[in-house]
Amino acid sequence: GNRTLCRLRLSGNKIGDSGGMLLAMMLQINNSLMELELSACDLGIQSVITFANVLKSNRSLRCVDFSRSLLNGHEEYWVVHISNMLVVNSSLLELHLGMTGMADTGMERLAEGLKLNHSLRYLDLQYNGVSCDGAYHLANVLRKNPTLDVIDLSFNRLEDEGGIYLSKALSSPGCSLRALSVSSNNIRTDGLLALAQAVKVNPNQTQINIWGNYLEEPVCQAFKELIYSGHLLREQTDVTAYEMNNQVCLAEICNGLKKLNYRINFCPYDTVATYFSINFFKRLF
């Protein structure tokens, strides 16, 4: 097998289930690939389940991106396989499942695997249908998981109750999460104030993104105090405070969740071409 290819980036190429199945078979004999990006590749449930099964024994992959796959309408059964994979996989550090149609049932199933996983550090769940019920299960994970660093829940349906569940988890002594995005989740004052308080008391929590929720004056004041007191650095949130007509307001700034440092230098081959990103891959199938 190829011993020098470290990153395979095929996002946007419509390889479909057939192409995905062939790639999954390749992973069974490849022991060098560390990053696999398959966002918007029209992967279906068969190929995603096959990847999950292969990843149970793969020890080289550090980052996998299945976002924008065609998984709606399958009752989230595929998440069971991802969850089972997380129980036994000890090398995967970053997992992208954004815009896959995951809702609360899927979140509950994923949480079962996350509770027993001690390697994953970055979890991307943006643009899904996770509500307060799913947040409840994720919060139970955060209270005990020692490795999760970053979670992106942007553009879900957490609302106040989901925000409060997460805030209680962030305030617990066993939580090691350092970055959380809950942007555009229909969270109002109670949920956002609870999250602000969690940031204040949790020394690990260094970044939180909240833009796109209901930023009423008490919330604006609370986040202004977090920023001005140094509990929340300006480059570690997606809002900034200003005053207009003697009222504190928040404006959006572009500070997305930072990628993990390992993605810069985890590939040992610095003298060969380690990136493989093509636009004609679908011709092979």
CATH code assigned at 136 = 3.80.10.10
Q: What is the pTM of this model?
A: 0.90
Structural domain contains residue 282: no
Residue 273: predicted pLDDT: 34
Domain that includes residue 206, residue range: 102-263
- Whether 106 and 31 share a structural domain: no
The answer, yes or no, to whether residue 220 has pLDDT greater than 70, is: yes
Distances (CA, A) of 250 to 68, 143, 193: 31, 30, 14
- Whether 195 and 123 share a structural domain: yes
Structural domain contains residue 141: yes
Residue 266: predicted pLDDT: 53
Residue 4: predicted pLDDT: 66
Structural domain contains residue 153: yes
- Whether 220 and 108 share a structural domain: yes
- Whether 51 and 109 share a structural domain: no
- Whether 71 and 113 share a structural domain: no
SS3 for 169-193, per residue? Answer: HHCCCCCCCCEEECCCCCCCHHHHH
Structural domain contains residue 90: no
- Whether 131 and 252 share a structural domain: yes
Residue 267: predicted pLDDT: 58
How do residues 64-100 score in pLDDT, each as one tens digit? Answer: 999 999 987 667 889 999 999 999 999 999 999 999 9
The answer, yes or no, to whether residue 179 has pLDDT greater than 90, is: yes
**62 vs 262, residue with greater confidence:** 62
- Whether 106 and 217 share a structural domain: yes
Task: Look up residue 69 and give its two tokens.
Answer: 């796959």
How do residues 5-62 score in pLDDT, each as one tens digit? Answer: 788 899 999 999 999 999 998 888 887 889 999 999 999 999 999 999 999 998 899 9
- Whether 154 and 237 share a structural domain: yes
The share of the chain scoring above pLDDT 70, in percent, equals: 88
Structural domain contains residue 274: no
- Average predicted confidence (pLDDT) for the chain: 88
How do residues 236-251 score in pLDDT, each as one tens digit? Answer: 999 999 999 999 999 9
Please state the rounded mean pLDDT for residues 150-160.
98
> Which of 56, 84, 112 is where one domain is finished?
84
Task: Look up residue 99 and give its two tokens.
Answer: 């815009």
* CA–CA separation, 46 and 280 (whole Å): 23
Task: Look up residue 42 and give its two tokens.
Answer: 């029209």
Confidence of residue 282 (pLDDT cuts 50, 70, 90): very low
Residue among 204, 109, 212 nearest 155 (CA): 212
Considering its fold, how many domains does the chain have in total?
2
**283 vs 7, residue with greater confidence:** 7
- Whether 150 and 252 share a structural domain: yes
- Whether 139 and 178 share a structural domain: yes
Structural domain contains residue 278: no
- Whether 55 and 132 share a structural domain: no
The share of the chain scoring above pLDDT 90, in percent, equals: 73
Structural domain contains residue 89: no
Beta strands in 177-245 (DSSP E): 179-181, 207-209, 239-244
Structural domain contains residue 201: yes
- Whether 152 and 227 share a structural domain: yes
